[in-house]
Amino acid sequence: MTITTIVVGYSPAPQSEAALRRAVEEAQHHGARIVVVNGATGDRYADVSFATDENLAAVHDLLRDSGVEHEVQQQVRGRDGAEEVLAAAEDVGADLIVIGLRRRSAVGKLLMGSTAQRILLGAHCDVLAVKP
């Protein structure tokens, strides 16, 4: 199948970095473009999943060096990471979503929620889950 647009769910964590690198490989293989999405709800004083300007600069450098067509989105609109990724996938008509996976126990998922699970279940296209 042809993949023209890949959406990457990004946050400053090792699994997301691995997801980004894997997405770059896929994009180079299929000649697709990448849309990197970093969303945060903006309702906390400090958010660990929010990418700083340095993080985003590093992402830009990585994508520029790889030579793929890319776009980086960072929205703070009161929606959390999973919703942002799914919304972006709808908007750009993504053929593939790439996310990073980390181990979370059943109780952890119960208490803290699982972004990956919501993206997997809510996506309209294929989802590639990458381990760090």
Partner 1 sequence: MDGIQGLIDGFAIAASPENLLWAFIGVLAGTMVGVLPGIGPALTIALLLPITYTVEPEAALIMFAGIYYGAMYGGSTTSILLNTPGESGSMMTAIEGNKMARSGRAAAALATAAIGSFVAGTIATLALAFAAPYVVNIAIGLGPADYLALMVVAFMTVGALLGGSVARGFASVALGLVIGLIGIDGQSGAARFTFGIPRLLDGIDTVVVIVALFAMSEAIYLAAKMRPGKPAVMQLKGQAWMTREDWRRSWPAWLRGTAIGWPLGAVPVGGSEIPTFLSYATERRLTKHPEEFGHGAIEGVAGPEATNNANAAGALMPLLTLGLPTSATAAVMLVAFQQYGIQPGPLLLENEPDLVWGLVAALLIGNAMLLVLNLPLVGLWAKVLNVPTPYLYAGIVTFSMLGAYSINNSVFDVFVLLAVGALGYLMKQYGYPIAPLIIGAILGPLAETQLRRALAISDGDASALVSTPFTIAAYALVVVVIAVPRLMRRWEHKTAEEIGVLDEFERLEHHS
What's the closest the beta carbon of residue 71 comes to partner 1, in angstroms?
20
What's the closest the beta carbon of residue 74 comes to partner 1, in angstroms?
9
Query: Which C-beta is closer to partner 1: that of 52 or that of 105?
Result: 52
Query: Which C-beta is closer to partner 1: that of 43 or that of 65?
Result: 43
Query: Which C-beta is closer to partner 1: that of 31 or that of 42?
Result: 42
Exposed/middle/buried for 44, CB within 10 Å: 0-12, 13-18, 19+? exposed
Site for partner 1 in 90-109 (CB under 8 A): none
The verdict on 132 binding partner 1 (CB under 8 A) reads: no
Helix (H) or strand (E) holding 73, with range, is strand 70-75
What's the closest the beta carbon of residue 51 comes to partner 1, in angstroms?
8
Listed ranges 28-36, 37-45, 63-71, 100-108: which one lies at the site for partner 1 (CB under 8 A): 37-45
Taking residue 10's Cβ as centre, other Cβ atoms within 10 Å add up to 28
- Backbone torsions φ then ψ of 43, nearest 5 degrees: -105, 10
Sheet containing strand 96-100, strands side by side:
70-75, 33-39, 5-9, 96-100, 126-130
- Written as six digits, the tokens of 1 are 């199948």
Query: Which C-beta is closer to partner 1: that of 3 or that of 56?
Result: 56
Among 64, 77, 109, 124, binds partner 1 (CB under 8 A): 77
* Beta strands 70-75; 96-100: pairing state: unpaired
Q: Give the interface with partner 1 as residue ranges (CB under 8 A).
A: 40-48, 50, 52, 76-78
